[in-house]
Amino acid sequence: MMQCYGRRVQYSSNSDNNSAAPKPPLASKPSFSRPQTSRRYSERSSTAMSGREDDENNFNGLQLRSLYPHQDPKNFNIQNMIEFLCSKEVILKLPLSDRSCHNSIKEPRKLERATSENNSFRVRRQTPEDAIDSKVIKTCRPPKVTGKSWIIVDGETGEMIGGKCERLNRGIASLTKIMTCYMVIKFAEIEPEILEEYLSVSEKAEKIIGTSAKLRAGDRIQVKDALYGLMLPSGNDAAVAIAQHFAARLHARRILYRKSLRDRGIQVGGNMRYEFAVNLLNLPLSSESRLEGLGLAYMSNDPSLLPWITEMNTMAYVLGMSATNFENPHGLSSKLHKSTASDVARLSVEALKSQLFRKIVNTESYAVNIVNSRDSSSRRIIWKNTNELLQEGYSGIKTGTTPTTGYSLASEYCFDVEPSGERKSLICILLGSKTKEDRKNDTRKLISWARTRQNG
């Protein structure tokens, strides 16, 4: 005899002989449609309570459609399914004698969200307020931009507001010059007269490719003026000239500091590395006379940039830019010259604490008189800032462009929070936009989105 309950097929025989029972006929493909009544489920519950192995899979009263709206295809949804699974877990914890008692499960429980006291999974029915919250969440999603990486942080605290691939290593192009400018300003905090020094432009600086401040070999220019040529027209020649001007004294400072540590029996390494770097950066630069005493006077005309690059990486280490490695002072593409949007944002927050740095990056144009020592000629150059967003109320910071890294932009925007009127600063780092126009539009979208979050 064959009894069919849903998709389960059972065979029973009244004969006690040992002869093999004939094979049953092939059953038709079981139907996956839901039963129209709950009668079969009640019949199965009476047979399933016999103590067999499938007792733990017995839902009993949970199968009654009249008591559980999720059994009705019209009311079936994910929310009801979650309630069903939670209710099943509760029933299975009851003794077998109580599972078939429908009075104990007249209505699915109204479940609440998880609390700190009870970490079990809890679900709450959606209310009209939840629908409003979901709309707010959608409006708070960041906009779609062409940039491959970006991050927005609070300009005062450095707290992250939003980002995309902000910790992914990639080229940062001329945003490297933020570090070059910041280092000179840090030197000037120890020795203010550094800004008044005159540097000489070498042939290597004149022949460097990329964006230029129109400097020529033999030009003599003050360090402070060179910083404007570095940041406004994004002059690669100015970056090389600055690095060569300080390279010899930076190398001598490192040698003297290591020698003083050896004399005191202190070895640099392990936990001493950070302390060594901080102390080194706080030391004044060595004078020209000290270079002659160390036999390093030749480095005054040495075109090597290695001492400067070493100090750049030391400064990055002190600032916590753990994913950054510099190989040049200007940002031209190099295999190992990489950073992240997060590290550049950290650097920008620190650099903007300097009033001189803030003044330089917020300048739209700057005029300077330059004298050439080779032919004694003089000329006047006007540098214009490549950051076009300055005309829209933005406060710097730096643009960057190379064929391999795309279009990048570091910018700051200050505004008043409504309704308190508190002054806020947002720093946006955008890397790898497709075009120059996309770079500006992406920054506008991201700043507008961050302002909405701050005001909300």
24 pLDDT tier (thresholds 50, 70, 90) = low
Q: What is the pLDDT of residues 326-348, one digit of tens each?
A: 999 999 988 899 999 999 999 99
pLDDT tops 70 at residue 429: yes
> What is the average pLDDT across 63-81?
51
Helical packing angle, 176-190 and 341-351, nearest 10°: 30
Q: What is the pLDDT of residues 140-186, one digit of tens each?
A: 788 999 999 999 999 998 999 999 999 999 999 999 999 999 999 99
Note the helical H segments in 282-428: 288-293, 306-319, 341-351, 355-361
Least confident of 129-133, 267-271, 323-327, 393-397: 129-133
> What is the average pLDDT across 417-427?
83
200 pLDDT tier (thresholds 50, 70, 90) = very high
Cα atoms in the Cβ-side hemisphere of radius 13 Å centred on 173: 23
In terms of C-beta density within 10 A (0-12 exposed, 13-18 middle, 19 or more buried), how is residue 20 classed?
A: exposed
Query: Is the peptide bond prior to 419 cis by the omega test (within 30 degrees of 0)?
Result: yes
> What is the average pLDDT across 27-32?
47
**Residue 385: predicted pLDDT:** 95
Q: What Å distances lie between residue 439 and 8, 350, 388, CA to CA?
A: 64, 23, 11
Buried/exposed 131-150: b ≥16 CB within 10 Å, e otherwise: eeeeeeeeeeebeebbbbbb
3-state secondary structure of 261: helix
For the chain, domains (ranges, CATH) are 149-276+303-455 (3.40.710.10)
CA distance 371 to 378: 4
CA distance 59 to 122: 20
User: What distance lies between CA 421 and its chain's CA centroid?
Assistant: 29
* C-beta of residue 211 within 8 angstroms of C-beta of residue 234: yes
> What is the average pLDDT across 435-447?
94
> What is the average pLDDT across 394-409?
93
CA distance 195 to 360: 13
**Residue 149: predicted pLDDT:** 95
The residue with greater pLDDT, 162 or 32, is 162
Q: Quote the tokens at residue 27.
A: 């059953």
3-state secondary structure of 427: strand
pTM of this prediction? 0.69
